[in-house]
Chain A
Amino acid sequence: MAGKQVKTFNCPACGGVVSLLAAGHSVTAICTHCSTLIDTANENYRIILKNRQSVRETDIPMGAKGVLGGIKWEAIGYVEKKDISGEYFWEEYLLFNPYYGFRFLVQGDDHWSLARIIKRDVPVTLFDNTIIFDGQQFDVFYRSTATVDYVKGEFYWRIRKGDQDKYADYIAPPRMLSMEMNQQEITLSMSEYLLPEEIEQAFGVSLPPRRGIAPNQPPPFSGVRHKIWAVAVCTLLVAFVVHLGSSGRQEVVNTTIFHVMPDNSSKSFSTGVFFLPKRTNVEVHGSATPLQNNWVDLDLTLVSDTSNNAYEASQSLEYYYGQEDGEYWSEGNTERETYFESVEPGNYRLVVEPAPGQLGPDGMNVMLAVTRNVRAWSNFWAAVLLIFAFPVYTSLYRRYFEYKRWENSDYAPNSKGNDSDD
């Protein structure tokens, strides 16, 4: 049996035809022609209030249908509310489906949430700072009084401009538990954050971009934050194993001792030719003896015999010691390592130009050991930085986000950013 079409009646004020989309439920309707508030609880259609308000356009027109969460809803009512402080404004659309009942679509600062009244006896008062609901903790965000500023469409309760309700909002993003209290009753409702795109898609409308951060807006990387860290740690482990495994066995390819004589102290020396079969990192371990309260600078050049490749580095060896106030002290070291990274394969010699401090009559011995397949830890640490840059960024950004969120609340907790509530 097909139900009747939408119920209509004539406005008792202007005579215009008014449709009732939720007949039997709606007790208040606003004439679409003259904005008169009409009592629709029974078929007498009494005038409650003649209105001189102009009709306002809404993002979602009355009578528009859209699917949210797999259920088709029709927008049948619209309320604009303002906080008594005059600082906050928001809109509530009343959605109806003859089988699923009613929902509320709430919009503030162009952020949207879908809300539903909770039919459960939850022992709460407006003064609670936290509410445990379904095992989840909700923290108070706002507490104030709301005033109805504008109404349009039809409603299953008595409503008119100027109606006031005390209210409190409690958040556990993306959910928000709202409490409204008037003389008769406390009403609890649960809302869930929606992306504007979901509303746009559902109702075929286009909406302005969101402003600021909504009380129940999910934090960035919500739900994936722990995964991001897990991926980073796994990547690090892989990088570590690869790093250990990639460079093969270390091998000393040349050891040479030079004698630096006082009469010819800056004469350059060359090692014998050694072969680097693969691209590699090369370590030059230098040491000097004797080196007592003295120094020597070594300019090192790795010169290819087979190509024009040349790699330069310098190494300073210095060692000082003494006795002061009965204590022995020393500074520097007689040996040191220098690295050449990513050296091309080929035959090489190491050319050394020494610049010693003072030389005794016997000069100084400089010993150089050249090793290939040396692991370059600097590469590894660079990789670590790279791997963790994003997770660290996500965590910092999230802290900042929570800080900005709670800026809008008088009840900001101290350490919200640390909560891991994914």
Chain B
Amino acid sequence: MKKYDCPSCGAEVVFMSNLSVYAVCKYCSSMVVRHDMDVESIGKMAALPDDMSPFQIGTQGYYQGTNFSLVGRMKIGWQDGSWNEWFMATDDGRRGWLAEAQGFYAVCFETDPPPVDFAHKAIADQKNPGKFVGSTLVLANQKLRVVDSKKATCIGSEGELPFAAPQGRVTVSVDLLGPRGEFGCVEIETGKQRAFIGRYVEWKELRCSNIRQFDGW
């Protein structure tokens, strides 16, 4: 855990995870980027639209023998809706994410990206939809099928993240699915791919604590 003073308001900005380089100050919503020695403000983050997510910064849970704690979130929008990507600080120090979309949850970890050819196909498919959805990809030795590919825009972020996720950051987001509920995701940003592999999980399985409470629920 590392603490800095917010360059904008002077309040304490805490980086819980060593993997995090970017945080949103919870007092003044400044987007703060961490360098070796100091931190820099790169602008203000607008408030995230309210949603019914059961998670919040500080929610703790469990996945495959590891405890995790949610330290940051990106809210991603696309043409027909939005989803949340929660950045996890795990006991074993891996780059883990909890993806939350349409009431489904998937836990995944960063893995080696596919050949750049994959990104080319995904981008070509955005311009001219063809047979990309339905094609297969081997990711982390698992054969997965492309079930969804769309242009995604970061609506906003909170907490800390391993990369800067300002509003308006645009990616092509490709979702992959395996025969036993394996979940894969490839995010394509200009000239760069990030790949994640994991699986869909049930709410109960995550054994979450410090979750959001809703009136009437």
Contacts and interface: CB of A to CB of B under 8 A. Distances in A.
Interface string A25-48: 101000000000000011100000
A383 B152 CA distance: 75
A42 B183 CA distance: 27
Nearest to B178: A121
A95 to B, nearest CB: 10
Contacts of A6: 215
Nearest to A72: B217
Contacts of A98: 52-54, 212, 214, 217
A4 interface: yes
A157 B82 CA distance: 10
Contacts of B177: 119-121
Contacts of A99: 54, 203, 211, 217
Contact of B56 (A1, A4, A122, A123): A1
Contacts of B178: 120-121
Given A2-B213, A98-B214, A185-B147, A121 B49 contact: no
Nearest to B144: A121
B180 A42 contact: no
A65 B217 CA distance: 10
B144 A119 contact: no
Contacts of B53: 24, 98
A23 B103 contact: no
A101 B103 contact: yes
A72 B203 CA distance: 14
B216 interface: yes
Contacts of A5: 215
A97 interface: yes
A25 B80 CA distance: 10
A158 to B, nearest CB: 5
Contact of B81 (A122, A123, A156, A184): A156
Contacts of B50: 4, 7, 23-24
Given A119-B177, A120-B179, A101 B213 contact: no
Interface in B198-217: 200, 203, 211-217
Contacts of A184: 133, 148
B102 interface: yes
Contact of B102 (A102, A121, A185): A102
Contacts of B77: 41-42
Contact of A25 (B81, B203, B211, B214): B81
A349 to B, nearest CB: 83
A321 B179 CA distance: 81
B51 interface: yes
A66 B178 CA distance: 33
A377 interface: no
Given A3-B213, A3-B214, A99-B211, A25 B102 contact: yes
Interface in A27-78: 27, 41-43, 65, 72
Contacts of B216: 65
B181 interface: yes
Nearest to A120: B181
A41 B102 CA distance: 12
B82 A41 contact: yes
A22 interface: yes
Given A3-B212, A120-B181, A22 B52 contact: yes
A206 to B, nearest CB: 24
A121 B179 contact: yes
A61 to B, nearest CB: 15
A102 to B, nearest CB: 4
A100 interface: yes
A119 B181 contact: yes
Nearest to A118: B181
A1 B213 contact: yes
A66 to B, nearest CB: 13
Contacts of A157: 80-81, 102
A121 B147 contact: yes
Interface string A111-133: 00000010111110000000000
B82 to A, nearest CB: 7
Contact of B80 (A3, A4, A41, A101): A41
A96 B51 CA distance: 13
A185 B50 CA distance: 29
A102 B104 CA distance: 8
Interface in A345-398: none
Contacts of B145: 121
Contacts of B104: 101, 117, 119
Interface in A191-213: none
Nearest to B216: A65
Contacts of A100: 103, 203
Nearest to B213: A2
Interface string B46-63: 000111111010000000
26 contacts: A1-B213, A3-B212, A3-B213, A7-B50, A22-B52, A25-B81, A25-B103, A27-B81, A41-B79, A42-B77, A65-B216, A97-B217, A99-B203, A101-B103, A102-B103, A117-B104, A119-B200, A120-B181, A121-B145, A121-B177, A123-B179, A156-B81, A156-B102, A157-B81, A184-B133, A185-B148
Closest 6 CB pairs between A and B?
Answer: A24-B51, A101-B103, A3-B214, A102-B103, A27-B81, A121-B177
Given A1-B213, A2-B213, 17 more contacts: A7-B50, A23-B51, A23-B52, A24-B52, A41-B79, A43-B49, A98-B52, A101-B102, A119-B200, A120-B179, A121-B147, A121-B178, A121-B179, A157-B80, A157-B81, A158-B80, A185-B147
